[in-house]
Structure 1
Amino acid sequence: MNLNLLSLSDDVLLNILSYLSIKEVTALRRVCRRLHTLSAIRLNNERTFDNYDCSKNLAKLRFVEENCPNLVSFDMTDVPLNFSKLTIRLRNSFECIRKLILCESRDVNNSNIHLIGDCLPNLTVLYLADLKVTDNGFTSLFSKCERLVELKLRRLSFSGSCFAAFRDHLLSLTLTLCDSVTEEGFRCLCDGRGKYLTRFELMAVPRGAINQHIYNQIAANFRCLKVFKFNVFHDKINALSLNSFPDLEIFDLTISHLNFKNDRHINSQMQKIRQINLSIETFTDKTISHILTQTPHLEELNLWIRDSKMKLNRTLNAISKLTRLRRLSFHNIYMWLNSIRWTHILQNCPQIIHFSISHVSSPKFDEIIEYFILNAKKRPKEHFKVSLVLNHRNDRCLHAPKNLELIINCPTHFEGPRDGINF
């Protein structure tokens, strides 16, 4: 290999090791001193070589055991090894592991998943996805993970009764595409077990899985939340109160339809909020501006607006008064965005360094680019980033300063906010 591995960063080296064949990995013994310093490793199946070759994965695992004694993070995505034997090897060789990612492992089931807690007593971060495990298996696992502070669950089928086995020191919980969790399951989570959560993400939940009563339980019990991401698709919520989250800093809301009776339902002590992401078809200009006027310390705002008749005069006026706003993202599938005087807004918020909008006409494109080129030259120590989706082809050659990062695309279709389904 012609790479100078000793000069690579840990992340780059880890990616290389993840996809090398065992022959190539073994050839790296000359950099064993460097491997001793690695704190994380990914033991993926070798998709580009021999898929699902157990012998090669075992050989690579032995190599990791011998050369990476300081391992604290382990990614076992789609590793075709005997899970019971693998966990025993982890206990014998990697007692220091703090973070484990376990996805798409066919050998994991209700009868053996508890081995994670038995063999990794120091585990604090656990990501699980696409496993054939139910509440019984998760209950035995969570009861043994006594130091767990962060848990991410994706595309799993369970009712949520296992939440009762959580320890009180769990601080972060992410549920993605876990649409089988029942109202009773959320009650188990809310009844004392989630009271210390500082981060709660409910992502990509289909229609009907969450109702007003469940939301009210979350609002009444999760008093310590600093990050709240609520990404659901339904029309069973008509009151969204954030008064229960006095320490909230990041609020991410994606709902296809929200039946607001009036704006008094959006009320909160939002003084501490630093970031807001909103994507709701039924929001009004008055409602959005009402939210923004209560967040004077906002540093990042991401809006997805899909109503062709909606004019945002109040919202734009509220944005221009956010003196701490550093990042602004504005997306809409309709052309009226080009009637907005973007430079006027930007001039009122000169502190903005990251700016992104979609469907920009040629005159607006020139106007925005020229503004940021001028600003980047005036403030060489700041790093500016501008992302524009054009409604036309533009082959203009741009000579931007080094501290201005330009991302320019032509759309094939409208893209909404990310649903966050990946770890």
Structure 2
Amino acid sequence: MIRKSIIFLFMFLIVIGCSRQTIKLKFNRFSAYGDGKMHFSLEEALEEPASITKLELWHNQLEQLPNEIFAFINLRELNLMDNKFAELPAEISKFEHLEFISLIENELTKLPKEIGKLIHLKGLGLSSNQLSQLPPEIGGLTNLKSLLLNCNRLIQLPAEFRNLRNLQTLSLQRNQFWWEFPDEILHLTSLQNLDLGENFLTEIPSDITKLTNLQTLSLACNRLEQIPCEIGKLTALKYLDLHSNPIEYISPEIKNLVNLQSLVLYGIKLKRLPVEICELTNLHTLLLDRNHLSDLPSEITNLTNLSRLTLGMNEFIELPIEICMLTSLRELILTGNKLRFVPPEIGQLTNLEELRLDGNQLEMLPPEIARLTKLRMLILNDNNFSDEEIEKIKDLLPNTNIDNLKTDIDYSK
């Protein structure tokens, strides 16, 4: 009887062990690629482990890496996004051919020093974790081209970070860099895309001029009070985002950014638009919402390539005539101003596709609005139009979606 009980217990433990193994290897999402084949189970992929070059294990609630995946010694890409990893094992270095790894949206608090052994790594995604520091060994990733570290808790970078000389894209948005621009970044002269938005930076260092290859730069939502003249030396810039800073001064040297295509300046409390911005003739997008503008310099007509202009939540009483000369405009936003009048010259904007005039004090639109035959959307909410006037506008623009509602929106916010 005792012997039978022992045998039963032994068999029970085997069953439990097998069940645990099954649970361990069961994934919500699994895919592996190699030799032109796609595998949707780990067991299937393990039949030819050396052929697997790409492994997807995202959104599986994993807290640790299954030992079985270390059989894939030739992995080039590993996606571990949206799991529950608090740390990575040192064994990650076994993937010596790895070129791309995503650990976005996990719970990482630190990285193992062995991360520095992944010398072929080109892309590393670490966004939305809980990292407060990086190991010095990260400086060994000298082939890295893209590093995403946004939404972490970093307060500084290791000195070895400056060794990432091939880095082209770096995102450090929403970390905790207090006051000072990280000096290590200024040594990364191959950088083309840099995002330091939503930190606590108070100034832009003069040595930013070393980053001569920068094409996109975001310093949004910091505590910058001025844009120094050195910014004008970043002549490769195509995109510059400075929104939501308490900026009181923009250097005239901004006019030297001759390749700039997008300039984001909303929410910086501008009382006037620096005339030098009107020399940026390659601008396609200019975002100026939530400032204190009541007019525009006449030179804005130089921006002949402008296709998107947003001026919402400013202090315009009438639409500046100069805007009506920007005939490349496709989107014009004038939400939440104090407009009482739209000039007949609005009819010159024949490429306009979206026009927002909501939250103003308008009672009518000129008949020349009928010339806007490409207009897909016209927003007129929260104005003073009569029903009769709205019907006239609809007759003038039969192919346009027109909104005219009364809402509870507070346009002062």
Question: Do structure 1's residue 390 and structure 2's residue 386 form an aligned pair?
Answer: no
Asked if 1 retains the 8 angstrom alpha-carbon contact of 2:346 and 2:369, the reply is: no
Shift of 1:371: 7.5
Distance in 1 of aligned mates of 2:98 and 2:387: 58
- Contact 1:299 1:327 (8 Å CA) reproduced: yes
The answer on whether the counterparts of 2:350 and 2:372 sit within 8 Å (CA) in structure 1 is yes
One-letter amino acid of the counterpart of residue 81, structure 1: T
Which of 156, 167, 176 aligns to 2:211? It is 167
Q: Matched residue of 1:103: which SS?
A: coil
Q: Distance in 1 between matches of 2:350 and 2:271?
A: 35
Instruction: Give the drift of 1:414.
Output: 3.3
**Which residue pairs with 2:108 in the alignment?**
80
Note closer, same or farther for the CA distance 1:111–1:249 as it changes in structure 2 (3 Å cut). Answer: closer
Alpha-carbon deviation of 1:203?
A: 0.6
In our comparison, the structure showing a higher alpha carbon Rg is: 2
Per the TM alignment, residue 272 of structure 1 is displaced from its structure 2 partner at its CA by 1.4
- Match for residue 357 of structure 2 among 315, 330, 337: 330
Q: Distance in 2 between matches of 1:280 and 1:415?
A: 7
* Partner residue in 1 for 2:303: 270
Instruction: For 2:195, give the aligned amino acid.
Output: K
| Structure 1 position 279 matched with structure 2 position 312 | yes
Q: CA deviation at 1:90?
A: 5.5
Paired AA for residue 312 in structure 1: F
Q: Distance in 2 between matches of 1:372 and 1:148?
A: 50
Give the structure 2 partner of residue 71 of structure 1. 100
State the TM-score, normalizing by the size of structure 1.
Answer: 0.63
Does 1:351 pair with 2:347? no
Which residue number corresponds to residue 149 of structure 1? 192
The one-letter code sitting in structure 2 at the alignment partner of 1:189 is: I
Asked if 1 retains the 8 angstrom alpha-carbon contact of 2:61 and 2:82, the reply is: no
Provide the residue aligned with 2:4 in structure 1: none
Aligned counterparts of 1:388 and 1:25: Cα–Cα separation in 2: 53
Give the counterpart letter for 2:342 in structure 1: N
Superposition deviation, residue 148 in structure 1: 0.9
Gaps of 5+ in 1: 7-15, 47-52, 376-383, 392-410, 418-423
**Cα distance change of structure 1 residues 130 and 363 upon mapping to structure 2, 3 Å threshold:** same
In the alignment, the residues of structure 2 paired with residue 277 and residue 83 of structure 1 have an alpha-carbon distance, to the nearest angstrom, of 42
SS of the residue corresponding to residue 196 of structure 2 reads strand
Q: Residues 182 and 69 from structure 1, CA distance in 2 versus in 1: closer, same or farther, beyond 3 angstroms? A: same
* Paired residue type of 2:222: C
Distance 1:117 1:292, change over 3 A: farther
Q: 2:322 aligns with which of 284, 287, 290?
A: 290
Q: 1:149 to 1:371 in 2, by over 3 A?
A: farther
Change (3 A) 1:303 1:25: farther
Structure showing the higher helix proportion among its residues: 1
Higher relative CO (CA 8 A, sep ≥ 6), structure 1 or 2? 1
Conserved 8 A contact 1:176-1:202? yes
Q: Answer yes or no: is the 8 Å Cα contact 1:129–1:154 preserved in 2.
A: yes
Question: Partners in 1 of 2:147 and 2:191 — Cα distance?
Answer: 11
SS at match of 2:269: coil
Is the Cα contact below 8 Å between 2:254 and 2:276 reproduced in 1?
no
Identify the match of residue 228 of structure 2 among 186, 194, 207.
186
Distance, in Å, in 1 between the alignment partners of 2:214 and 2:207 is 11
Count of matched residue positions in the alignment of Structure 1 and Structure 2: 339
Q: Does 1:256 align with 2:291?
A: yes
1:298 partner letter: L
User: Per-residue deviation at 1:67?
Assistant: 12
CA distance in structure 1 between the partners assigned to 2:333 and 2:90 by the alignment? 43
The match for 2:277 is 242
SS at match of 2:259: coil
- Residue of 231, 244, 260 corresponding to 2:266: 231
User: Would the aligned equivalents of 2:215 and 2:239 in 1 still touch at CA under 8 Å?
Assistant: yes
Q: Out of 144, 147, 150, which is 1:100 matched to?
A: 147
Output the amino acid matched with 1:82: K
The superposition leaves residues 103-144 of structure 1 with CA deviations (integer Å, 9 ceiling, x where unpaired) of 3433x34351x54453x544222221233335777222231x
Q: CA RMSD in A?
A: 4.7
What displacement does 1:168 show?
A: 1.0
- CA distance in 1 between counterparts of 2:90 and 2:376 reads 44
Percent identity (aligned): 15
Distance 2:91 2:390 in 1: 54
C-alpha separation in 2, matches of 1:368 and 1:86: 70
Give the counterpart of 1:311 among 340, 351, 354: 340
Report what 2:156 is aligned to.
110
Maintained 8 Å contact 1:256/1:281:
yes
Picking from 54, 57, 63, the partner of 2:86 is: 54
Any gaps of 5 or more consecutive residues in structure 2? 1-25, 32-55, 124-142
- Describe the shift of the 1:235–1:132 C-alpha distance in structure 2 as closer, same or farther (beyond 3 A): closer
* Cα contact 1:157–1:178 (8 A) shared by 2: yes
Greater per-residue strand proportion:
1
Residues 238 and 292 of structure 1, relative CA distance in 2, 3 Å threshold:
same
- Change in Cα spacing, 1:156 to 1:91, as seen in structure 2 (3 Å) is farther
Q: Give the corresponding residue for 1:400.
A: none
**Alpha-carbon deviation of 1:94?**
4.5
Q: Is the 8 A contact 2:181 2:204 kept in 1?
A: no
In structure 1, the partner of 2:409 is 413
